[in-house]
Amino acid sequence: MSDTPTPAPPLAPAPTSLRPLILVLGACGFASTFTMRIIDPLIPTLAGEFSRSIPQIVMMVTAFSLSYALGQPFLGPLADAIGKVRTILICLLALALFSTVAALSGSYEVMFTVRAVTGIAAGGIIPIAMAAIGDRAPIQERQVALGRFLVLMIIGQMSGSACSGLIATHAGWRAAFLSAAVIATLAAILVAVVLKPRRNVTRKALSLAGALANYRIVFANPRTKLLYGLVVIEGILLFGIPAYVAAILFERSGVGPAQAGLVIAGMGFGCLVYGLLTRILVERLGPTLMTRTGGVICALGLALFAFDWPWWSAIPIFAAQGFGFFLLHGTFQAQATELAPSARGSAMALFACSFFLGQATGPLVMGFTMHLLGTGTAILLFAIAIAVFGYVTPRIMPVARSRT
C-alpha cells in the first residue's frame, strides 16, 4: 500500500457561503417578478385609460411573456460569454429604464411596445440567476438553494400584484411602474456592490458559432426536448388564467385593482410556502409524488375559481394553486440545471424560453376557450388538463428520487 495520502475531494460550498449569493440574486428575482406581474391587476384600469378592450390590454401580457421567451436564446450565450453577474446587472439597469418609460407612456401603442421590450430585460435576470446558483451550489444542495432563491423571487411576485393594485388605487397606475423602476435600481446597486464574477473561469468569446455549440451541447442530452416540451404545456395550462382574473372579479363582484391584486398575490403566497418547505418536501415526497400532488392541488384550486364565490375567497384558492404550481415546477427547474453543466446559462435560458412561450400562449388559449365555451367551462377544462398533466408527467419523464 502506498504511503502517499489520497487527495481529499474538493469541498462543496457550505450552505452559509451561499447566503449572500441567494439574498442578492433573490433581490434581483424580486425586481424581475415585481415588474412582470405588475400589470395583471391593472388590466381593467388600463383598458379605461387607453380606451381599449380587455383582450387588447391582455395582449400586453402576451407581448411581455413572448419577448421574455424569445430573448432567451441570445441572453443565455451572452451570460456564458461575459459572465452571469454582469448580464444580470445590465438587465436590471435596462429594467429600471423601461419601467420609467412605461410610467410616462401616453398611448396604448407606446405602452405595448415598452412592455414587450421590458420582457427581454426581465428575461435576463431569473434564468441567469438560477444558472449562477447552479454554478456555485453543489447538486445535493441545489434544489434547496433554488427554493430559497424562489422565496425572495415570489415575494416580488406577490408585491407586484398586490402593490400595483394598491398604488394604482391611491396614487395612479403610473406610480406603480415608477416603483418598479426604483426596485430594479436598488437591486442593481446590490449586485454591483456585493457580487463579483467568478475567478479563473474560462469563457468563450461571444459568437454565433459559440452560441450554436452551446446549444448543441444542451440538445445532446436526450431529456432536453422532452423537458422543454413539458414546460411549454405547463406554462399554457397554469398561466392562461391570471391575465383574466381582474376582469372576471370585476364582472362578478365589481371589485377594483386593489382587490384583484390581492387575489393574484395569493398565488405568490402559496409559492412562498413551497419555498419555505422545499427541503422537507423534496426529502419526504420526492419528484414523482411532488409532481402528481402539485397537479391535483392546482386543478382543485382552478376548478373552485370557476364558480362565483365572494371575491375574497379567491385569495386562498389562488394560494393553493401557487403552492401546487411550484410542486410541479420546482422539480422541472432542478432537472434543467443538470441538462448541460458546461453550458448551464444556455440550458437555463432555453428552459425559460420554453416556459414563457407557454405563458405567452396561455392567455390566448384561455381567451379563445372562454369565448367558445364560456368562462366557467373553460376554467374547468383547464383544471382537468392540469390534473392529467401532473399525473402523466412522471410516467413520460421519470426522475430518480434524490435527497438533499
Residue 118: all three cell numbers together: 421590458
Nearest partner of 266 among 283, 280, 247, 245, judged by Cα? 245
End-to-end alpha carbon distance in the chain: 35
Whole-number pLDDT of residue 233: 93
Whole-number pLDDT of residue 194: 85
Listed in sequence order, the residues at least 6 apart from 154 whose beta carbon sits closer than 8 Å to its beta carbon are 33, 268, 271, 272, 275, 322
CB atoms near residue 400 (< 10 Å): 7
Whole-number pLDDT of residue 163: 77
Whole-number pLDDT of residue 157: 67
Whole-number pLDDT of residue 10: 40
251-262 burial, b at 16+ Cβ within 10 Å, e below that, comes to eebebbbbbbbb
Return the amino acid letter for 351: F
pLDDT averaged over 10-residue windows placed end to end, the chain, 404 residues: 40 54 86 85 88 90 88 81 88 95 93 93 87 73 71 71 80 90 94 78 69 85 90 91 86 84 81 77 81 91 90 90 85 80 78 86 91 93 94 79 42
Q: Return the CATH number of the domain spanning residue range 16-195+214-396.
A: 1.20.1250.20
Whole-number pLDDT of residue 199: 65
Q: Which sequence spans correspond to the domains of the chain?
A: 16-195+214-396
